[in-house]
Structures are given as C-alpha cells and as structure tokens.
Amino acid sequence: MMMEASRSQFTLLPKHRSPIETMKNSTSRAKLKSALVIGLQLAEKGVDGLPIPGVKGCIGGILKIIEQEELREANVETFNGLVTIIQGFREVTVERLSRERNIPEDLKSDVERLAKKLRDIPGRYEERVGQPSRMKRLKDFVSASDHAKALNGLGEDLKNAVQEFQTSLLMNIQLMEQRREDDRLIDKLPVERKAFYNAHHERPIEVCEPDTRVSLLADVAEWAEGTGPNHPGILWLNGRAGVGKSTVAKTLANRFDEAKILGGSFMFSKPNGVTDGSKVFMTLSSQLAHHLPEFRDHLVAAIREKENAIGAEISQQFKYLLAAPLYKLQSPPLTVMILDALDECTSETLTPVLTAIVENITRFPFLRIVVTSRPENSIRAVFQRFADHIREVDISNIPTSEDISKYLRRRLREVCTRLMGETEQNHAWPVNKDLASLVHMANNLFIFAATVVRFVGDEWAAEPQCRLDTILHGHNADDQDHPLSSLDFMYQEILRHALPRGAASVFARFQAVVGTIVLSQYPLSVNKLADLLAPNYSAADIKHALKFLHSVLIVPEDDNTEALQVYHKSFADFMTDPKRCTLTEAYLPLSIHHTRLCLRYFELAESIFGTLSTGDLSVDLDAASDMLDNWVYHLFALEEQAKTSGDKMDEAILALSDRVQALSVLIAENKNQSNRLTSAKGFSFVVQLITGVGIISGMS
C-alpha cells in the first residue's frame, strides 16, 4: 500500500502540458530555450545545495552545451522533451531530496551515481558530433543532421539516467517512510532528557581539569576494554560526598562518546529533578537506538510486539526494551553505559533498577556499565549478591592532593585576574604556602576546593586575599579527625558572613528562604518561591537573603524561569545535621521545615479547589496537582523523619484529616459539575489525598 502511495506521489516524469506545441518562429524558440536554460540553472542550484558533497556541479556540463546551442525549427521537439525531463527531475528528485533532513546513506550513494552519469553525458555528446572545431560545430549545429541526432542522444541519455534512478528513489522513499514510522514508535518512550550527560542545566557538571584524575581515568578505560569470561561488566565508583564522582562520570561519558562507544547515560540529580528510576531503561534504550542501528531495529520490533512494556514495571521494561533487543545483536561492539549518582534515585525504584542490571550483566559480554554513588547500604546490599560481576573502587581513598592543587592554582588565578586585573603579582597568587594549606584542608574533597573558589571569587565580598585569609586563619589545619571537618568549617564561615548578628526577622527570613530551597522536592524559581512564601516574603526579600550565599547556592539572574539550587548535596546534608551545623540560626530542623511546607502546600491546594467551586474557568488544575504532589512528598519526609529520629508528627498535620475529607467532597462535586475536572483528573486528585490520609492515619 505504501509503495502504491509512493508511486502516485513521486511519479518521476509528470505529464506536464508542453510549454508550446509548435515552434514556428524565432521568438517562440527563444522562449523555449530560455525555459530550458532556466530549468537547468534551477536544477543545478538545487542539486549543489543537497547535503551530498559528490553531486555538486554535475549539471554544469549539460547546461553549458544548451547555452551554446542555437535552437532552430529542426530540433524544437528535442528541446521541448528536455524541458519536460528537467522539470520532472527538479520537482521529483531535487525538491524532494531538499526536504529530507536525514537522507539515508544508500540513497546518497544512488544520487552520487546519478551525478556521475550526468557528468558523463556531455562527453558522450562530444563523441557523437565528432572532433571538428568547436566554433564550426556551434555554428552549424542545428542545420546538421548528425548534430541533431547528438542533441537527441543527449536527451535520451538524460532521460535514461533519471528514469534509472527512479526505482531506487521509490525504494528509498519507502524506507524513509518506514524509518519515520519507526521513529514515531521510539518517540513513545518517555525519555528523561535531563538525565543525558550533555543535557543543558543551569548548573552543569564540570569535567575533570586537564592533567587531573589521569590514573583513575586510564584505569577505567582499561577496565572497559578488558575481556575474558570472568571480566566484571560493572564498575562501581563510590565515595563520600564531595570527592568528585559526578565530575569523573561526566568526563568518562564525554570520552567514551568521543570514542563512539557510549551507548547511553543517565545522570541522577535531585537539584535537576532527575530522581525517578522508572525511566532509566527507556531512556537508555532510546539513546542506544541512536548509537546502534541494529539495536534500533530490534527495539522497534519489541515495541510493536510488546507496546505495553512502555510504562510497565521496571523489570519488564528491562526485559523487553533493553535486554531482548541487546540479545539479538549479531556482532555487537563494545558498548559503555553510565549511571551517575545512583544514590539520588528514589528508594522505591533504586533496587529494581540495580537488580535488573546485575542479574543480567553476564548475558552481554560486550556491555560495560559504570555506576557512581555514595556507598549507601541499599546499593551495597544488591552488589554484594553478585560480587563476582562487579569491580568496586572507592575513589575517596585515591590520593588527589596534586590534582586539587592544580585545580586551585588555575581557578584562583582566574578569580584574581577577573577581580583584580592581570599583573605579574596576581599571576603568582596564591602563594605556595597558602595553596599547600588549602590542599591539606581539602582532604581529598574536590567540593571543598570548588567552594573555596566560589567563596573567594564572590563579587559581593572583600578582595580575594582577605577572603582567603578567612579560610586559612579561621580553621586549625591539623584538625582533620572527621573527613568533612574542613568542608564543614568552610560552610560555617560562608553562613557567618551571610548571617551577621542581627534582628530575629533576618534569621526568620533565612530559615524560610534557605529552608525551602534546600528541602523542596523540585527546584523553584525566585518568583515561584515568592508565591510559596507569600505574603511574608517577596522576590526582592528572597534575593536579599541570598546575597552572600552565591558560593553554595545557584542564584540565577532570571527570576521567572531559572531555578534556585544548591551547588552540591553536601551543603544540604550539612544544613540539616545539628552535629555538623553548629550555627543555631542557620541549622534547618527537618521536622519543622517539612511541617511548614506540608501545611503551606495543602493550604494552596484548598485555595485552588475553592476557586474552582465558584465556577472560575481560569483555575490551573496542573498547579493544583503540583500542590498535592508536594504535600504528599513532605508528608512522606515527615513519616521517614519520625521513623529515624522518633520525632512526633505535628498536631497541625494530624488535624488535617477533616480538611482532607472536605476537600475530597469538593473535588467529587466539581467532578460532577465541571467540564474541566474530568473523571480521570478528579480520580488522580483523590488518590493523592488518600495517600496523604494514609500517612497521617499511620502516624496518629
């Protein structure tokens, strides 16, 4: 059916009405020649513009012959036929190919062969007319029968070359249509594009500085290329917060991509809203389909056969959308996949994802999977069951003093040049003694070094050396009992500068603003945060509260679209740990802030549904869903906090039960009365409310 459609749509030589039926006078003949020359010129321009280097200039020789010939009555029909051929060639071949974004390689080869034939036509024309002088041949051309035959032969050659191309064109058109249909199937996969290693983010992960992590990166490359029946297919790079795991992961992804062996990447990140493990295998399958054409074909077949695997349980996704197509590969090349920051994956999806990988890795000896994470017990428990398949590297134990020294030297010089100008003295800054002290304080933590650079380079702050002295002279460099002691000191100093002794209102604003940024489920823009904290704090209040926190928080210039985020999860860990954050005004008690946010989100949901009941058609139902989603998130956090610390649920939360019931009734009434609140949407709201009630009841 598709072929029939293609034939009718792409007939190579359409039956155009002849521009002229007879050419009895010189004016009409001149018009015909002009039409042919213009047609050839347009065809030449179109062909030269195709994304196929080998076709450029293929019509030039034919155009040159036609421009030199004098059209007379004897060869009008030949010229007339050439007009038809060129018109069809332009419309069917050139214009059709010009609209294609991705021309298959087979079709490119066919077009290049056609171009070669078009280049050969002028040579055969020369052979037909013999070798008398060119000027004589041009002068006598149309009155000589052998010249008329030669011109007619040129037309036949052109017609045959184009018609011969028609078959392959029709076949390739069919293949392109099939490819588009396949693309539509693959596009059904709910891919998490923010998880790609090269995705755009407001705070992109950096790659390793030049000449750093040399040994580690070389070791990973050697592991990836290793072979043998007992070669571990999984590499687990783990380490404590701040040692640079994600930087290493991105560097590896970049290098493997350049080497054309990267099959896919999934970079978890709570600040970027990438925590859902249910999209891991669909995202990796989509990326792998672009990397391996054979895998793509098998994936399309799998989706056609088992379309309900999309969105199914994680184990089923792995089985049908990744494992099955991989298993069918005939001669698969070495392929590397990277999962970064796996510890930031939601707890309910982490174990199924990891289990599916480790249980099946030995089936695919060509596959290498790099996993980076903190050494969490939940991850270690799965890996220990399959220890023979996994190589573990604790990068916290890899000496990095030299690498951190290189990083600090380069970045601090950049800061000094930016703030103080380019001078010989600034080029030698910081002095070696200060640099050595910073490296010692870093204690293998790259996040400490990165925070120092941002703290010293803060444009709102004092000159760089004063900031550096604050770090160097305020902390006992020999106090390294705890691996995070220097980092904790660094964070503490930043907070002291941001929270000078002042009014209680300043501390309250800090708690509300920073507490919400640190503990929110998803990052918020300044204006979204202002809406959440209204009427107590405005966007201006928020930016003022964050004025001296730019070294630990991302504060974008755009208040509307870009999100406020912590630079590194270690800062959130510090702020919520009373044993580490000893600055009372800065410490963020988890139960207090989750309670505050839980109540606020429910209040906003009530307000939205209350407006809906009045018949207001401007109500944002998606916003209502977001409010309930965040309400449930903070309820879960309170439940978890109660389990781990023994904190009791706040009475205000327990008292929500009656309000939840009232809101459920309101939703039910609107479901029956409003065209906007469909049954499906209303049902999803009720599910969120039931989930919340279940948590509250369990904690009562």
Separation of alpha carbons 633 and 516, rounded Å? 13
Contacts of 265 (CB under 8 A, 6+ apart): 195, 196, 197, 249, 253, 287, 337, 338, 339, 340
pLDDT beyond 90 at 692: no
Helix locations, 213-262, DSSP H = 214-225, 245-258
In sequence order, the β-bridge partners of residue 264 are: 337
What does the pLDDT look like over 175-197, one tens digit per residue? Answer: 667 777 778 888 888 999 999 99
Separation of alpha carbons 303 and 309, rounded Å? 7
Q: In what order do the strands lie in the sheet with 262-267?
A: 262-267, 335-340, 367-373, 234-238, 390-394
Q: Percent of the chain at pLDDT above 70?
A: 83
Lowest mean pLDDT among 301-310, 543-552, 680-689: 680-689
700 in Cβ contact with 654 (< 8 Å): yes
CATH T-level assignment (fold) for domain 193-397: Rossmann fold (3.40.50)
What does the pLDDT look like over 595-625, one tens digit per residue? Answer: 999 999 999 988 887 765 565 555 677 788 8
What mean pLDDT is predicted for residues 43-66? 77
Separation of alpha carbons 535 and 454, rounded Å? 32
Helix locations, 479-584, DSSP H = 485-498, 504-519, 526-533, 539-545, 569-575
Lowest mean pLDDT among 43-57, 356-370, 372-386, 536-550: 43-57
Mean pLDDT of the chain: 82
Among residues 516, 539, 700, 528, the alpha carbon closest in space to that of 596 is found at 516
* pTM beyond cutoff 0.85: no
Q: Percent of the chain at pLDDT above 90?
A: 39
Lowest mean pLDDT among 71-80, 464-473, 628-637: 71-80
Helix (H) or strand (E) holding 554: strand 553-554
Q: What was the pLDDT predicted at 546?
A: 93
Please give the DSSP secondary-structure letter assigned to residue 500.
-
Residue 502: which pLDDT band, with cuts at 50, 70 and 90? low
pLDDT beyond 70 at 571: yes
Separation of alpha carbons 481 and 475, rounded Å? 13
pLDDT beyond 80 at 75: no
What does the pLDDT look like over 89-110, one tens digit per residue? Answer: 777 677 777 776 667 677 777 7
Q: What was the pLDDT predicted at 322?
A: 95
Q: In what order do the strands lie in the sheet with 553-554?
A: 524-525, 563-566, 553-554
What mean pLDDT is predicted for residues 518-546? 93
Residue 236: which pLDDT band, with cuts at 50, 70 and 90? very high
Lowest mean pLDDT among 40-49, 271-280, 282-291: 40-49
Q: What was the pLDDT predicted at 144?
A: 46
Could you give the angle at the alpha carbon of 144 between the alpha carbons of 142 and 149, nearest 5°? 85
Amino acid identity, position 369 = I
